[in-house]
Amino acid sequence: MTQAGGIEIVRTVADLRARVGSWRAAGLSVGLVPTMGALHDGHLSLVRQSVGETKRTCATLFINPKQFNPNEDLAAYPRDEAGDVAKLKSAGADLLFAPEVAEMYPPGAATQISVPGIGDILEGEYRAGFFTGVATIVAKLLLQALPDAAFFGEKDYQQLQVIKRMTADLDIPVRICGAPTIREADGLAMSSRNAYLSAQERAIAPTLYAAIRSLAEAVRGGADPASQAAFAAEKLLSAGFSKVDYVTVRNAETLEPVAANDEPARVLAAATLGRARLIDNIAV
């Protein structure tokens, strides 16, 4: 359906299903890489992982209004479809699904998917409605394309766990694959929102990764999670972050506070630097 080295762009669910259906009919496995565009090497690593694990890869580009709340940066969110298409092509994607808002939310659309518990804490606490917006749009994309596998970055670690929970709970027949965070040379996790940083803020930003890495090492060495997390938050404020929403050590799957020393744990953090709210995480 697509030519060698080419990438086809579709705008409607019907066209998406026709393309994916033709691949299925030919016995080809399909990978899906949902994105909001403004692609960086983190996204492209997901595309390459999908290309390596499945026969055909479909990326999606949809800036989902339902996962922004009125105080957030929907209007300002970076957009560059032409640039994104070139990057997807170079990474080996076969298809881009880039629908308009009205294609995803036609008049009358009302249904919401929520994940109480893991969707209410951390990011869910600071971004009202965020994970309901994420769970709903990801379910829609999965059910529109019905891929064999879908790929999400560990950069948005809580999002990945919410999506795994939602997909399992609703019996959506797709494998959810997480992929490691891709970082700049100085450790800053790649993010479309890094574009909001001034040169001065950009120089400060790697403190976030340094702080959570130190925290993870300290906890691994037996230090008390709560006092070490407080220390990490102080470091961020001293470095120039204006607000720390959380720095915390959690169960790696449920993201509940860690109870036992031997459970798999994850450090998660969110803090504001200039106009950007940055998040990062690392395994303990």
Q: How far apart (Å, rounded) are the C-alpha atoms in residues 33 and 43?
A: 8
Binding track, positions 17-36, relative to a copy of itself; x by CB under 8 A: x-------------------
Binding track, positions 159-198, relative to a copy of itself; x by CB under 8 A: ------xx-xxxxxx-------------------------
Which string of b and e fits 153-167 if b means at least 16 CB within 10 Å?
A: bbbbbbbbbbbbbbb
CB of 171 or CB of 262, closer to a copy of itself: 171
Both tokens of 158, joined, read 């809580």
Name residues contacting a copy of itself, limited to 253-282 (CB under 8 A).
254
CB of 13 or CB of 195, closer to a copy of itself: 13
- Rounded to the nearest 10 degrees, the angle between the axes of helix 41-53 and helix 81-91 is 40
Q: Rounded to the nearest whole angstrom, what is the least distance from the CB of residue 13 to a copy of itself in the complex?
A: 6
Q: How far apart (Å, rounded) are the C-alpha atoms in residues 93 and 57?
A: 5
Name residues contacting a copy of itself, limited to 115-134 (CB under 8 A).
115-119
Q: Is 40 a catalytic residue?
A: no
Q: Rounded to the nearest whole angstrom, what is the least distance from the CB of residue 150 to a copy of itself in the complex?
A: 14
Residues constituting the chain: 284
155 binds a copy of itself (CB under 8 A): no
Show Cβ contacts of residue 132 under 8 Å, excluding neighbours closer than 6 positions: 66, 112, 113, 114, 115, 119
Taking a C-beta distance cutoff of 8 angstroms, is the pair 67, 141 a contact? no
Identity of residue 272: T
Task: Name the active-site residue from 30, 31, 32, 43.
Answer: 43
Q: Residue numbers of the site for a copy of itself (CB under 8 A)? A: 13, 17, 108-119, 135-136, 139-140, 143-144, 146, 165-166, 168-173, 254
State the catalytic residues: 43
